[in-house]
Structure 1
Amino acid sequence: MSFEYLIDPAEGPQWKGVLPGRPQPYVLERGEGEHSMLFTDLFTVLLSGDETEGQFGVVVSESPAGDVIPTHSHNRTHETFYVIEGRVRLFFQDTEGQKQSRLLTPGDFGFVPAGFAHAYQIVEDARMMGTLSGGFERFFQHMGAETDHATAQQPPFVPAVPRMQAAAQRHDMQFLPDHRWDDAHGA
């Protein structure tokens, strides 16, 4: 299996006709967007950097309880976490280097700027909306698999290690496998 499209975006999934691909007004109805599965999570891109001239993208995720997104950081990507349904534990390192842990419930919001280590765990089946620096929303598509299904009730997609590495490299994401949160402060 080849993953060259992760280096050359012209070779990758294009989701033609779903989003406009340039700045212009548009509306998506419930369930519309660019859907991809990554492990057991359904990610739906509602707005990409293509529509915002690289400023930001918006993604909705649907995730089952128990999922743990491993510790990582981004050199250029700011990331928000807005919980719509369920409960999510957000782990992050603050500006003093202290490890923090917060339980987010519906209506709660978290923000992790570029350069800060973070992770999260789905405590209860959850839907979240995230706003990301433009272009990073494509990470979920490049690592995951395109799907036409608008629900998470489908088989998981487990990417091959080279695909994960290529997607992380392309989107300037560093996994931090030795980073632990056992001593994190918070609620």
Structure 2
Amino acid sequence: MTAEFTQGGAAQFSLPGKPVPFFLEAGEGERAHLFDSLITVLLSKDETDGQFGLFTYSAPKGDAIPTHAHADVHETFFLLSGRARVWVQDAQGEQHEKLLGTGDFGYVPAGCLHTFRVEADDTRIMGVSSGGFERFFAASGTRTDSLEPPRPPYIPSPEQIARAAREYGNDFRFDLRPLDG
């Protein structure tokens, strides 16, 4: 059922890749570093016949991620700990912004521009996404066996991010920075 894989010297648990029952112990999953964040994929589209994925996102207080949209992916934010400010522009162009704390929830429908900024060093977010964009993080970042966010941050090349964005349907809007300031 499980397979170990190695990429860049990091050996870790790999998800089964098909819809079969499985269990993960604390810390297991497909982990990646991207900028200052640790992302752990717990469930991908491969295990759910393309329906949804589940991941955690851990990061220190920092800058907002680039504003982006997923044409066919719905995304959720459930704060396991810490605080994150989420900004969403809906289909009618109305802007919504909310500071989420532990236990709070946010939803971004497919096609809506959005961004977020981690506001506390102990922040951990659980995300559920439809359609399978959860492996974007490893494609645009680097796989890791670490259980901590990267120090120093992992900064991918613009080409690496562009390739991953095309593959996973992310439309970045680097000209739109609503949470800066």
TM-score range, shorter chain: 0.7 to 0.9
Runs of 4+ aligned residues of structure 1 deviating over 4 Å after TM superposition are none
Structure 2 equivalent of residue 3 of structure 1: none
User: Within 5 Å, which residues of 2 pair with 1:47-126?
Assistant: 47-125=43-121, 126=123
Question: In the alignment, which of 170, 178, 181 is matched to residue 178 of structure 2?
Answer: 181
Report how many residues are paired.
170
Q: How many Å apart are 1:98 and its aligned residue?
A: 1.2
Distance apart, 1:16 and its partner CA: 7.9
Give the C-alpha shift of residue 176 in structure 1: 1.2
Aligned positions of 1:12-31 closer than 5 A = 18-31=14-27
- Tell me the equivalent position of 1:7: none
163, 166, 177: which one pairs with 2:163? 166
Q: How much does 1:93 deviate?
A: 1.0
Gap regions ≥5 residues in structure 2: 1-6
Report the AA paired with residue 169 of structure 2: D
Query: What do residues 54-76 of structure 1 show as CA deviations (whole Å, max 9, x unaligned)?
Result: 11000101011013111111111
The two structures, once aligned, show a CA RMSD in angstroms of 1.8
- Deviations along 1:23-73, one digit per CA (max 9) or x if unpaired, are 111110111111100011000000011100111000101011013111111
User: What's the secondary structure of 1:69's corresponding residue?
Assistant: coil
Pair 1:33–1:17, CA change in 2 (3 A): closer
Cα–Cα, structure 1 residues 88 and 130, in superposed 2: closer, same or farther, change >3 Å? same
CA distance in 1, matches of 2:100, 2:12: 35
Give the CA deviation at 1:95. Answer: 4.1
How far apart are residue 96 of structure 1 and its match?
3.1
Secondary structure in 2 matching 1:168:
helix
Deviations 1:139-175 (A, max 9, x none): 0010010101122254321101100111111111111
Equivalent-residue separation in structure 1 for 2:150 and 2:163 (angstroms)? 27
CA-CA distance at 1:119 after TM superposition: 0.6
Using a 3 Å threshold, how does the CA distance of structure 1 residues 26 and 98 change in structure 2: closer, same or farther?
A: same
Q: 1:99 touches 1:181 (CA, 8 Å); kept in 2?
A: no
Choose which of 33, 36, 54 in structure 2 pairs with 1:40: 36
- Tell me what 1:8 maps to: none
Q: Report the secondary structure of 1:42's partner residue.
A: strand
